[in-house]
Structure formats: structure tokens, C-alpha cells
Copies of this chain bind each other. A is one copy, B any other.
Amino acid sequence: MLNVGNSEGVQLQSKLFRGFGDPARLNILQVLRNGPMTVSEIVAATCMSQSNTSNHLRCLRECGLVAAEQQGKFALYRLSDDRVGDLLALGESLLADVARGVYECTRYSSPQDISAGQKIK
């Protein structure tokens, strides 16, 4: 029953950033910077499965990071706000200077990097 990040603002903001913190969702957001895309196009661009893409799109849509527009049997998704792209750009700018540290960070970090590395036993 710990109260980590007890402030409502921190909780909400962490959920917002979590939208950017998952590789699959970030991948979707990045490809949408090129302009609106249908789900099929996003699937092709990200090489993710259809259900996985749709699952994450729902999350991104509910969180207001992307917006969807139904067009016949297609669903056209777009970044909902310029600041979403701004955040991605700012993240890129920052990453350009801290990339080495991020890459080497193994604690509380990306699972793929750990499993790809040597196992310690």
C-alpha cells in the first residue's frame, strides 16, 4: 500500500509517458509522424501483428495520443496533437546526447536488451 508517486499529477503524467515508453506504442507513434495511416498500413510499417497493433492503438486512442477516423471499413489514425510529435522530437534530441548511457542501462530497462546479453548464473 505504498504511495509511490502519490501525487495525482505524477500518476497521470507517468501514464502519459508510458504511452511513449513501450517499444510497440512508440513505434506506432513514430510511423504516424509521417501522416495519417490506416491500421493495415501501421501493421505493415511496424511489422507488428494486427491484434497487437490494434490493442496498442486502443490504448493510445483512449489516452488521447492518437485519434481515429472511421472511413468505410478502414480506420485512419493520426497523432492527436502537435505536442505528441514535439515530445518525440524532443526525446530524439535528448537521446542524441544520452544514447550511450541509455543503451547501457540494464536495470529497469528494456527486456530485449537483457535477454540478448549474457546470462549471469
Contacts and interface: CB of A to CB of B under 8 A. Distances in A.
Contact of A20 (B21, B22, B48): B21
A90 B86 CA distance: 8
Determine chain A's interface SS by DSSP, over half rule. Answer: helix
B23 A99 contact: no
Contacts of A100: 64
**Copies of this chain:** 2
Interface in A1-20: 1-7, 9-20
A80 interface: yes
A88 to B, nearest CB: 8
Interface of A: 1-7, 9-27, 30-31, 46-49, 52, 55-56, 58-59, 62-65, 80-81, 83-84, 86-88, 90-110, 112-113, 116
